[in-house]
Structure 1
Amino acid sequence: MRRGHNLLAVGDYNQAVVLDVIRRAPLGLSRVEIASDTGLSAQTVSNVTRRLLDTGLVREGGKLIVGPGKPRTLLQLVTTSRYAVGVHLDPTVVTYALLDLAGDVVADHRTLTPSAADPDTVIAVMAEEVRALLAREGVAPERVLGVGIAAPGPLDSAQGILLDPPLLEGWQHVPLREALARATGFPVVLEKDVTAAAVAELWVDSDEDRDNFAFFYYGTGIGIGLVVDHDVLRGASDNAGDMGHLMVQADGPVCGCGRRGCVGDLVVPYRLVQRAVTAGVLGPTASVDTPLDGPAEHIDFDETDRRFTEFAAAAGRGDAGAVAICEEAATHIARALVSVVNLLDIDHVVCGGPFWRRIAPVLRERIEALVAGDPALIPRHPVAVESSTIGEDVAAVGAGCLVLDQTLSPRPSALLIAG
């Protein structure tokens, strides 16, 4: 539990502390309980809660009877007082999620990623979709705290620039944060997609069992979000989590990076579709005929999405060829995850992303068994491999949670005095 400070100079921090403990108590908390949980004085709690009531962020709810004396009034979060919008830019699909103040998804929406390589066109479409989403739900712009956008890396978080995402042609050095803020009129937070997914899991499920976990992101590409001691690991430039170039097959095909056997090049959806076409599991198509040892350029991601659904259905029916391809993919993924588990000593792997749910019935249990039985696994504790309960929206939800986190979560760093 975070503790507060009884200094007037940190009023905003104390407000975040109080708001955070109220948010985590759905039935509400009394002022006495808030003071006990936060370490703040009764007077400070009274002052802070008065401000929160005045701004409509909390309300007085029921009464709490504790022995003789006057019942205590419970304070509850007004979840519909403010909202956040999360957007996830994937080469295949753009996902939009509207979150209330509790982080619950009020509405979501998906569109195919515009094929135009001109980022300005795509950003304009995003802004229009955000406006349409708010209009459909009757949310006034002044009740929106901001927009979070999750995007493939690498990115420059300080400048809000998308640097050179490998599967988004024409998106080199795009000032995405500033451009989307200008187009929507809202403050914008930019985060790497795999990190946003990990943030979503922390926000939705903050149980102690989730103190150390990895989020295996399975979308058009793959990546991994990392959480250690309940903190998201972002790295020196906020680009942690690029696991695609972990080598898992010494004699594998040549990756675009020039090395052989990189896990990303072996298991991403369009590669599995290619193998399914080659094996006769799926009928031929001219749209996913990139050589297995060639670069991932000019892929028709819309058709890959459709054909991957067919492939996952075939594997689910027990088609021998599709199952064999999935077995091989599970082996590669498990080897990469063992390296991550060994490095960080995590005990949970949460899997999700736009393509995961379709293939999870075939892959999840197999990956968990392969991780547990790998002779290279060092930690002796069990490693659970689970599917995200959030679903395909996980990165968009995480992007929205980042906006809420900046508003609701107390940050000790805010107490530092700039020189």
Structure 2
Amino acid sequence: MGTRQTAIRRGTNLPRMGDFNESVVLDAIRRVPGGLSRVELAESTGLSAQTVSNICRRLLDHGLALETGKKSFGSGKPRTLLRVNAEARFAVGVHLDPAVITYVVLDLLGNVVAHLRVPTPPVADPEQTLSGLSESIRQLIEESGVPADRLLGLGIAAPGPVDVAAGLVVDPPELEGWGRVPLRDYLAEETGLPVVMDKDVIAAAIAERWAGAAAHSGNFLFFYLGTGSGMGLVVEDTVLRGVSGNAGEVGGLGAACTTRGMVDEAIHLGVLSHDFTPIGPRDAERSLAELCRLAAEGNATAGDIIDRQAVRVGRGVCAAATLVDAELIVFGGPIWPHVADRFLRIVPALVEKSPFVKSLHPTRVTSTEVGDDVGAVGAACLVLDRTLSAQPQSLLLA
């Protein structure tokens, strides 16, 4: 059917595991747009035919799945195929980036059904930003036309560091004046929605896993290029968060491994005039866009600055890919479209020649399939993932 066996979780036929197994089946159906038969579901999930039949009946009754015609398999009786009902549920996602705030509404298959983008207020007091967030969320939901009873919740992707357990954004470097801001609880109270919050790079990795380049990979890393940089790591279909939920920081690559670092180098070398000195994160992105334009027009020094960045990042992802034995490296984020062409001429070759990356399997390098809004899409996918995906921790019995 075009799917990879390793991308589907194995279920269990033990009692009291209904929620987990339901998620296993729904996830298996979701990964095959054309639909799967009950026989195929039993084979791919390891569940008994009776368990699959019961789960499919519940999914159909709840409107989460639809029967979508029949397909012949050899000489036997045609089998009824099931697919996910994309419009059965929706999730809202918000990416709080220091330069721009992006809002989306997703359906169950990760399709964007509503979108909004607003510049981040350049203020030290976060109250204005919080107020604007809640108002924009209400506006987006209203304009989307999604019924309130079909909204699963709201996901927030925030710049690190974050305190996921407490729902706090903690002194983000590029958000001046923010200390310990209770972002999750504020938006839960203002919107009335269940809210989940995570670091933006982790959310982006989940977006690729749900609806992007890593939909059929359970072992990959996502390198995020935005105001700052970071890595989301997925091993055996599990996102690695670390003890505080802040895994993926790449400070070891140096201060130059940021948008501001490249712009500062360009100004120092005289490629950009001092007029391009960034005052804030939005200015840094505009200055980088100018640097990339000059490189595309043949300015050798501008090209060298971007290429050196690609080499630094490439060495970092080589080490990380070896550490987690990844089969796929995905790049994305707001800055990625500006540098993608030059990065993709350099990084794959570094990965292929690296003495660190294991030769037992190929390690593919690719661009995000989610697009520039991967952070916001990932935020909504946090909701879909926690609500509908098979979570191993749900197997812990009281």
Alpha-carbon distance, 1:88 to partner: 1.0
Counterpart position of 1:82: 89
Answering whether residue 385 of structure 2 is matched by residue 366 of structure 1, we say no
Answering whether residue 317 of structure 2 is matched by residue 337 of structure 1, we say yes
CA-to-partner distance for each residue in 1:219-239, whole Å, 9 max, x for gaps? 001111112333221112211
CA-to-partner distance for each residue in 1:221-275, whole Å, 9 max, x for gaps? 11111123332211122111111234xxxxxxxxxxxxxxx2xx11311222223
Answering whether residue 153 of structure 2 is matched by residue 163 of structure 1, we say no
Counterpart position of 1:55: 62
Counterpart position of 1:395: 375
Aligned partner letter, 1:335:
R
Q: CA RMSD in A?
A: 2.5
Q: Tell me the distance in 2 between the aligned counterparts of 1:202 and 1:85.
A: 17
Counterpart position of 2:183: 176
Given that residues 228 and 258 in structure 2 are in contact (C-alpha distance below 8 angstroms), is that contact kept between their aligned partners in structure 1?
A: yes
CA-to-partner distance for each residue in 1:375-395, whole Å, 9 max, x for gaps? x64644654432222221112
Alignment of structure 1 residues 80-229 onto 2, 5 Å: 80-204=87-211, 205-206=213-214, 210-229=217-236
**Secondary structure at the residue paired with 2:372?**
coil
Q: TM-score, normalised by structure 2?
A: 0.89
**Secondary structure at the residue paired with 1:150?**
strand
**Secondary structure at the residue paired with 1:107?**
strand
Counterpart position of 1:251: none
Answering whether residue 290 of structure 2 is matched by residue 300 of structure 1, we say no
Percent identity over the alignment is 49
Distance 1:23 1:373, change over 3 A: closer
Distance 1:14 1:215, change over 3 A: closer
Given that residues 64 and 84 in structure 2 are in contact (C-alpha distance below 8 angstroms), is that contact kept between their aligned partners in structure 1?
A: yes
Counterpart position of 2:51: 44
Given that residues 208 and 215 in structure 2 are in contact (C-alpha distance below 8 angstroms), is that contact kept between their aligned partners in structure 1?
A: no
Given that residues 127 and 180 in structure 1 are in contact (C-alpha distance below 8 angstroms), is that contact kept between their aligned partners in structure 2?
A: yes
Alpha-carbon distance, 1:218 to partner: 0.8
Given that residues 214 and 328 in structure 2 are in contact (C-alpha distance below 8 angstroms), is that contact kept between their aligned partners in structure 1?
A: no
Alpha-carbon distance, 1:97 to partner: 2.0
Given that residues 123 and 176 in structure 2 are in contact (C-alpha distance below 8 angstroms), is that contact kept between their aligned partners in structure 1?
A: no
Given that residues 38 and 53 in structure 2 are in contact (C-alpha distance below 8 angstroms), is that contact kept between their aligned partners in structure 1?
A: yes
Aligned partner letter, 1:360:
A
Distance 1:227 1:76, change over 3 A: closer
Counterpart position of 1:252: none
Answering whether residue 33 of structure 2 is matched by residue 26 of structure 1, we say yes
Aligned partner letter, 2:280:
D
Given that residues 315 and 362 in structure 1 are in contact (C-alpha distance below 8 angstroms), is that contact kept between their aligned partners in structure 2?
A: no
**Secondary structure at the residue paired with 1:401?**
helix
Distance 1:364 1:342, change over 3 A: same
Counterpart position of 2:308: 328
Alpha-carbon distance, 1:69 to partner: 7.4
**Secondary structure at the residue paired with 2:256?**
helix
Distance 1:142 1:282, change over 3 A: same
Alpha-carbon distance, 1:80 to partner: 0.9
Q: Tell me the distance in 1 between the aligned counterparts of 2:388 and 2:347.
A: 36
Given that residues 31 and 215 in structure 2 are in contact (C-alpha distance below 8 angstroms), is that contact kept between their aligned partners in structure 1?
A: no
Answering whether residue 351 of structure 2 is matched by residue 351 of structure 1, we say no
Given that residues 123 and 183 in structure 1 are in contact (C-alpha distance below 8 angstroms), is that contact kept between their aligned partners in structure 2?
A: no
Alpha-carbon distance, 1:8 to partner: 5.2
Q: Tell me the distance in 2 between the aligned counterparts of 1:12 and 1:378.
A: 38
Distance 1:216 1:139, change over 3 A: same
Equivalent of 1:2 in 5, 9, 33: 9
Alpha-carbon distance, 1:370 to partner: 4.1
Distance 1:327 1:232, change over 3 A: same
Aligned partner letter, 1:270:
R
Distance 1:387 1:4, change over 3 A: closer
Q: Tell me the distance in 1 between the aligned counterparts of 2:276 and 2:314.
A: 31
Alpha-carbon distance, 1:149 to partner: 1.1
Distance 1:318 1:56, change over 3 A: same
Larger radius of gyration: 1
Given that residues 83 and 99 in structure 1 are in contact (C-alpha distance below 8 angstroms), is that contact kept between their aligned partners in structure 2?
A: yes
Q: Tell me the distance in 2 between the aligned counterparts of 1:385 and 1:358.
A: 17
Q: Tell me the distance in 2 between the aligned counterparts of 1:316 and 1:211.
A: 36
Give the number of equivalent residue pairs: 389
Q: Which runs of 5+ in 2 are unaligned?
A: 1-7
Answering whether residue 256 of structure 2 is matched by residue 266 of structure 1, we say yes
Given that residues 167 and 197 in structure 2 are in contact (C-alpha distance below 8 angstroms), is that contact kept between their aligned partners in structure 1?
A: yes
Distance 1:88 1:68, change over 3 A: same
Q: TM-score, normalised by structure 1?
A: 0.84
Query: Relative to structure 2, which stretch is displaced further, 88-97 or 406-415?
Result: 406-415
Answering whether residue 291 of structure 2 is matched by residue 276 of structure 1, we say no
Distance 1:327 1:72, change over 3 A: closer
Given that residues 215 and 224 in structure 1 are in contact (C-alpha distance below 8 angstroms), is that contact kept between their aligned partners in structure 2?
A: yes
Counterpart position of 2:241: 234
Answering whether residue 289 of structure 2 is matched by residue 285 of structure 1, we say no
